[in-house]
Amino acid sequence: MADVIDVINPATEEILGQVPRGTAADAHAAVAAAKAAFPAWSRTPATVRAGLLHEAANKIQAHTDELTHLLTVEEGKPWVENEEEIFWVHDTFHYYAELGRHERGRFLPPGDPDQINFVVKEPYGVVVCIVPWNFPLLLLAWKLAPALAAGNTVVIKPSEYTPLSTLRLIELGFDHFPAGVVNVVTGYGPEVGEPLVNHPDVPLIAFTGSLATGQRIAALAAPSMKKLHLELGGKDPLVVAPDVDLATAVSATAYAGLINAGQVCTSAERIYVHESIFGRFSEELADFVGKLRLGNGLDRQTDVGPMLRDSFRTKVEQVVAEAVRAGGKVLVGGGRPAHLERGFFLEPTVMVNVNHEMRLMREETFGPVLPLMPYSDFDEAIALANDTEFGLGATLLTHDARLVKRFYEGVKAGTIWINDPLTDNFAGPFGGMKMTGGGRELGQEGLDEFYEVKHVHWDVEGQLKEYWFPYGAGE
């Protein structure tokens, strides 16, 4: 059995490098290092931690081009998308550097003049961050920054597909941190991830990834009652109202569904268009998507890059083929581009004649496919949007404020986008409902995920209480 893991460029299928195939012993050593560093780090003043986080952000920003290049060759997204990812990474550390020193609890009104009541937020200890491959640095930053700001130490388990960018980020950005505060172990889930989840000195696991893996983590963590911070994917709807500007709506829909070749947990994977504009919208979307440039992300003209691996591409092809056999129609795309002989490329695809009986409309596709269905009235659109086990995000394209209100009140999803899909806000919590999991990242809520809450009830005078034993003393 090889003791290293090959890292492959999905655009060229070339081996970029190798990383150690970690073991349970490596996982245990990382936890031991983090546990040893925790007492001093948790007592480090918040202002000092803030300074260290700001320094990390500045170092990351100074190496934007290097990290962008590494992300592009390792994960496959176009350069512009990875450049944006690096911006979000360093600004996430700036954001939590400041938020982490803002407050650590609150005072409460006491029940008696001689009493003081307050709430203290305390770090958990060792936090394990298990990070996916599609936004490996961004989704790490959303966990690592608040965990450190709260005073926790961290062990990172990157995806085995994209470990190089994570290792380089930590090498460049965190060499000034005390030893043991930030640790990385590369390897496979069963060999490294599960020992980390099972470790008795790990009270909190933060994970982004598939529902099946999240359920496995939850089952492993349940006997120890560990805190779980989970984001388990989605099947996000996008609803197009009849009042939209067609060209704008087409561009927004293509972006929402095809960024990172559709390999985004918040990708718009179900498109519902009002029947009055369905025909024109479908034609214009197919025309728009057919003109997108497919290729290597290092080419600054590329719009859509490769899928991560051939097995992922094959799965999407199978789902599309199933839909076609059931009556679905491909308007554009659906095949492998003839002009790209190497790489795991799949043409961006637009489909119609689909329904909710198809796997395409029920399971997370995670590929460059835009399936369109018409709806007749807005109640139907909301019902279709909610017809999923997931609840991560949902998008509405309209300028009708009445529809907006009905949509954000009626749709069960953690983020509602109106006319600006897949845009986040550092201060706005991100996370899902239903089977997506209940964790929240970004905002105050994202910081609070990494705090335990303690209530202190203090009677300053400490006098004898009339309601103590014996109960019959005053009779």
Catalytic residue, candidates 265, 269, 347, 364? 265
- For every residue of 211-276, DSSP letters joined together read HHHHHHHHHHHGGGT-EEEEE----EEEEE-TTS-HHHHHHHHHHHHHGGGG-STT-EEEEEEETT
Residue 124 near residue 452, CB atoms below 8 Å = yes
Write the CB contacts of 282 (distance below 8 Å, at least 6 apart in sequence). 273, 331, 350, 352, 372
Helix (H) or strand (E) holding 129: strand 126-130
Catalytic residue, candidates 75, 160, 231, 364? 231
Tokens 């561009």 identify what position?
251
**Interatomic CA distance for residues 309 and 13, integer angstroms:** 9
Write the CB contacts of 179 (distance below 8 Å, at least 6 apart in sequence). 33, 37
Q: Is 341 among the residues known to form the active site? A: no
Tokens 């409460």 identify what position?
108
Residue 129 near residue 144, CB atoms below 8 Å = yes
**Interatomic CA distance for residues 400 and 397, integer angstroms:** 9
The dihedral of CA 117, 122, 124, 129: what is its sign? positive
**Residue 111 is which amino acid?**
G
Q: Which of 181, 184, 182 is nearest to 164 (CA)?
A: 184
Cis bond upstream, residue 470 (ω within 30): yes
Helix (H) or strand (E) holding 121: strand 115-123
Residue 268 near residue 257, CB atoms below 8 Å = yes
Per the DSSP assignment, residues forming a β-bridge with 453 are: 121
**Interatomic CA distance for residues 423 and 415, integer angstroms:** 10
Half-sphere exposure of 457 (CA within 13 A, CB side): 3
| Cβ neighbours of 296 (radius 10 Å) | 21
**Which of 199-211 are b and which e, b meaning 16 or more Cβ less than 10 Å from the residue's Cβ?**
beebbbbbbbbeb
Q: Is 449 among the residues known to form the active site? A: no
Which residues are tagged catalytic? Answer: 231, 265
